[in-house]
């Protein structure tokens, strides 16, 4: 087997390594050898392997978005199972990815225990991708084939909400999972996090989520 490295532009924050001509068996072996206790993320798309090493800023916004989703499910009394950066792959498609975070909400009853097998389970209902350097387009192709219905993608300054419609991701103003949550509101609170601590921001977010709304 020959693996060929593809030249990437100089990393600004998050670093990436791209390898071509990688077999599915090598990809699976690499996952096993690297184990679960790591900060890197791995994506695989029909022979192309991507290894992502997140920056501090990347991890900061990942955690903020996770806390925002957790607050939503708590305040709305929604049942949820979060799987963080669990590996999502389909051998029949030769595709796999590790999102920054992912959640089962609408399909929570279809997941038994704490293991995801996309050969028998649906994909997560919501995936979070923090993409400071705008390279998650590779993973979007994987998520499309896996059938992930909704992605929140943070692009350094803004969050974009994407829904899978007729085989393509379409940008929306509001979240299908949380219909009163708009991308504009998410961005407003994330901008607030630039000038305050996380606890203060999440408290304000919780208060906003709990406000009465017309049904």
* 91-108 pLDDT tens trace: 999 999 999 999 999 999
* 10-64 pLDDT tens trace: 344 568 899 999 999 999 999 999 988 788 899 999 999 999 888 888 889 999 9
CA distance 28 to 91: 10
* 188-205 pLDDT tens trace: 999 999 999 999 999 999
Q: Return the HEC string of the chain.
A: CCCEEECCCCCCCCEEEEEECCCHHHHHHHHHHHCCCCCCEEEEECCEEEEEECCHHHHHHHHHHHHHHHHHHHHCCCCCEECCCCCEEECCCCEEECCCEEEECCCHHHCCCCCCCCCCCCCCCEEEEECCCCCCHHHHHHHHHHCCCEEEEECCCCEEEEEEECCEEEEECECCCCCCCEHHHHHHHHHHCCCCCHHHHHHHHHHHHCCCCCC
**Residue 162 in this model has a pLDDT that exceeds 60:** yes
In this structure, of 1-5, 103-107, 143-147, the range with the lowest mean pLDDT score is 1-5
Sign, CA torsion 5/9/10/15: negative
**Residue 5 in this model has a pLDDT that exceeds 50:** no
Average confidence (pLDDT) over 163-188:
97
**Residue 6 in this model has a pLDDT that exceeds 70:** no
For residue 84, give Cα distances in angstroms to 69, 98, 157, 200. 12, 9, 22, 23
What was the pLDDT predicted at 215? Answer: 65
In this structure, of 54-58, 113-117, 141-145, the range with the lowest mean pLDDT score is 54-58
In the chain, what are the domain boundaries? 56-209
Q: What is the CATH number of domain 56-209?
A: 3.90.1570.10
**Residue 132 in this model has a pLDDT that exceeds 80:** no
């Amino acid at each position: 087997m020959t693996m060929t490295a593809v030249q990437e532009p100089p990393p600004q924050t998050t670093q990436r390594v791209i390898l071509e001509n990688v077999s599915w068996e090598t990809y699976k072996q690499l996952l096993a050898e690297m184990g679960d206790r790591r900060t890197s993320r791995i994506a695989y798309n029909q022979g192309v392997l991507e290894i992502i090493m997140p920056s501090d800023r990347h991890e900061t916004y990942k955690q903020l978005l996770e806390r925002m989703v957790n607050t939503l499910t708590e305040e709305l009394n929604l049942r949820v199972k979060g799987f963080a950066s669990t590996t999502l792959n389909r051998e029949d498609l030769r595709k796999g990815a590790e999102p920054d975070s992912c959640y089962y909400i609408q399909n929570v009853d279809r997941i038994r225990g704490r293991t995801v097998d996309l050969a028998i389970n649906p994909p997560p209902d919501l995936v979070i991708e923090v993409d400071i350097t705008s390279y998650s387009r590779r993973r979007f192709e994987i998520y499309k084939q896996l059938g992930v219905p909704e992605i929140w993608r943070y692009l350094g300054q803004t969050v974009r909400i994407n829904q899978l419609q007729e085989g393509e991701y379409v940008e929306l103003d509001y979240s299908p999972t949380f219909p009163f949550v708009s991308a504009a509101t998410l961005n407003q609170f994330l901008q607030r996090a630039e000038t305050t601590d996380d606890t203060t921001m999440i408290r304000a977010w919780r208060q906003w989520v709990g406000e009465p709304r017309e049904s």
